[in-house]
Amino acid sequence: MNLEIKDLRFSYGSHEVLSGYSLSAGCGELVYVLGPNGVGKSTLFRCVMGHLKPSSGSVLIEGKPVNSFSPQELAKIVAYIPQSCTPSFNYSVRQIAAMGRTMHISMFASPSERDYQITDRELEKLGIGHLADCGICEISGGERQLVIIARALVQEAKILIMDEPTSSLDYGNQIRVQSLMRSLAHEGKLVLMSSHNPQYAMQFADKVSAMYNGRSIACGSPSDIIDSSLLMEL
């Protein structure tokens, strides 16, 4: 499954945030969009998900415009992990994570035993299986972020889009999540992750898109493009 972003442009009023961003990526790749805060990484991901409408350019999944998919169709293909989550209700960790199964369940049905088995498996992978019965409002912000990652994983989508997903995690859990994402990519998923940490990009990425002023100023394997001059520019 391929994701192609072509010459994407987006503005908030007169302020242009994306100024011709392009990227091509496919399943089996862990791709980092690397850049400092404020260069448009979150806006890019919102455009890719169809949450924002670009002024020009296109986002294609398997050659099909992203806005041509219904929400349910898109949810079976793409899972999105935001930077943070503020819960409104104190559902249990297992219930929150199991919400990722929604598109696999018919209307008015409840999650099946298999849905909960998939949920518990992903919670264990992320090291939070012991929190399954805890209320989401009763755990730390970092643990909450791991639950949101688990919710995305139980969708079993082919494409994972992650907006700086480890920024609120401690070092050990940062490494745990980065390693898991690399494994998932090498098992056949496409993982697109934003980051301002070049060390993680060097360590885990298959491809890096260096983003600045709303466009990709370099794209390729981390060993080929990340050097002192690029980091100075970023």
Q: What is the pLDDT of residues 41-92, one digit of tens each?
A: 999 999 999 899 999 999 999 999 998 998 888 988 999 988 777 778 999 9
Q: What is the mean pLDDT of residues 96-111?
A: 87
Mean pLDDT, residues 21-35: 96
What stretches of 73-227 adopt beta strand conformation (E)?
A: 78-81, 159-163, 190-195, 207-212, 215-220
The pLDDT, as a whole number, for residue 85 is: 74
Identify the band that residue 198 occupies on the pLDDT scale cut at 50, 70 and 90: very high
List the structure tokens of 118: 């998939």
- Helix 113-125 / helix 141-153 crossing angle, nearest 10 deg: 130
Residue 84: predicted pLDDT: 74
CA distance 120 to 8: 38
Instruction: For residues 180-198, give the mean pLDDT.
Output: 93
Quote the tokens at residue 212. Answer: 């600045």
In angstroms, rounded to a whole number, what is the distance separating the alpha carbons of residues 117 and 131?
A: 15
Rg (CA), the chain: 18
CA–CA dist 119, 101 (Å, integer)? 8
Query: Exposed, middle or buried, 18 (CB in 10 Å: 0-12/13-18/19+)?
Result: buried
Mean pLDDT of the region 158-180: 90
Cα 49 to Cα 46: distance, rounded to the nearest angstrom? 5
